[in-house]
Chain A
Amino acid sequence: MNDYEVVIGLEVHVQVKANSKMFTRVKTGFGHPENTLTDPVVLALPGVLPVMNHAALDAIIKSGLLLSCDIAPYCKWDRKNYFYPDSPKNYQITQYDKPICLRGNVEIELPGSARNVMGEHKLIPLTRIHLEEDVGKLNHAAFDSLIDYNRAGTPLMEIVTDPAMQSADEAFAFLTALKTVMVYGGISDCDMEKGQMRCDANISIRPKGQEQLGTKVELKNLNSISYVRDGISHEILRQLSLVKSGGKIVQETRDYDGQTGTSQSLRTKEDAHDYRYFPDPDLMPVKVDEAWKARLKAECPEMPFDKQRRFMKEYDIPYTITSVLIPDKSLSDYFEATAKLCGQAHAAGNWIANDLLREIGKSGESIDQCKIKPNHLAALIKLITAGTISTTAAREVFSEMASTGELPEKIVERKGLTASASSDDLETWCKDSIASDPKALAEFKAGKDSAINAFKGPVMKAAKGKANPKLVDETLRRLLAL
């Protein structure tokens, strides 16, 4: 097996998040009653004409800018002719020889040696990105096939990579990274379950050192990122064992079934369509000038991996925390706002990566819906640092904030959570604690400073959590120094 290398290219379809369809005003959407998101244009009634959705073109140009593509100064629309009932016109409007985005790349991160170790980064080169319209959906019943045209005409980007990936892990990392960029750019949510991102893979193997690419097999229906990885792994093994046993790989399209982990041939090269592409005479070519690009460039967010590198440098937070924050732009924005407000990035990172994520995981809310806003969390962190409340009390305040959305100061006051034990009581509890742990006392006297912590627990317990931790520490040190 080591004498062969694998070459993978992906074709990824990404639905553009747009209010209306690619060539008509009717809304886009998922999960609506069948055939309610249609109009005469979607249904290709006699006499209708397409009109380009400018917002969708904005989205693809923005994608191109984010992925360092060359934006063509001129693009046009072509018809891809084929008969299939999910395509109402029996041609699809797409971009054939003049796609809007050329070249470019996607930065990916391969798995590290351990969870807390950053993996190798690579740039996967893109061939092109073009815009087209999605098709409808067929539902096959026992005796009939039913067609739902709600999806038909939804703006759809096709992102084509060079044959430049060498493993299923790379393909997995590619899709993960691409999705993050698309979500960052507000271009698509890339929810594969809703069909917002779909992937076909072209896979071939060749003896190591051979320049020429091997015969490729196209794998379809890879409808989750994990299926992409599993499907590609399966196909690589299939090709290797075929070659080892003296067989020959034929150029074909195979359908991968993620449930069973098997694939079967759909069609071979001989059945390839002649799509009779030609420029759509109903649509005008589009010129993209510098001002248009500049406007979209200004809307481009910081790229995820750039943000990660900056967080690690600027806030000195560990890779593990950043790898939790970065995939979710809202979460990383949340982090940055909190860190700036409280000036304590570490604490902010820990609270978010642990408590906050647990909280929203529990409620099923998105970060934007969560009642705890960055100013709440920042204020809480400040209260802890100032010694106004203990960590135990802070957790209580945190869950209270999550349900009421009140500021932490208010909750502390309302619930009387201030570390407010009297100094007399504190003195007594500290003395008792020291007296009850001679082992720790001896260690401390012998120079082990951390042994002091052993005395704090009983004090806090006696104070029912209301002792000011800073004051406890000071009192203990004063008494121990006597």
Chain B
Amino acid sequence: MKLIVNGMELDVVSPPLTPLLHVLRDELDITSPKAGCQQGGCGTCTVLVDGEPRRSCLTAVATVDGAAITTVEGLGERDALSPVQAAFHRHYAAQCGFCTPGMVIAATALIERAGGPVERDDVLEALGGHYCRCTGYVKIIDAVMAASRGEVEEIEDVPVSVAGEPEVQPKGSPA
């Protein structure tokens, strides 16, 4: 089997019924899609399959053989965030961050599909399957609407690693 993950064509050897989530995380070492509930309920494993958001925990890898998969790793760079990532940063739309990958992917697909400003109800519909236990959603919804309006300001304070200093490894993080 093959997957085109963030533009790179990769061979996959996991068994056919393996959830796409575990192929990405365990075989390909792409860890932005999180293994949250693994029951399709929380949304943090969402990735784009040929441009459409789908739950990677519910998707057997054989059923997407040959498809183009996009994860957060394929959206922006550390110093060149995607519009949705920048808006999440600007609007404080992430707290613990565990739901953020799925939120960002689903919001990116929504804005791509709409091609312009989206309404609050569109955001509620598109993020309906994504649970956040910290923010109360208000800032997330604000961020997605701002990104859809192209309100992306320069982000200057994204932390960058300094040569010689070890990167911070969050303790106890499921990531």
Real complex partners, A and B? no
Q: Which residues of B contact A (CB under 8 A)?
A: none
By a beta-carbon cutoff of 8 Å, the part of chain A in contact with chain B is none
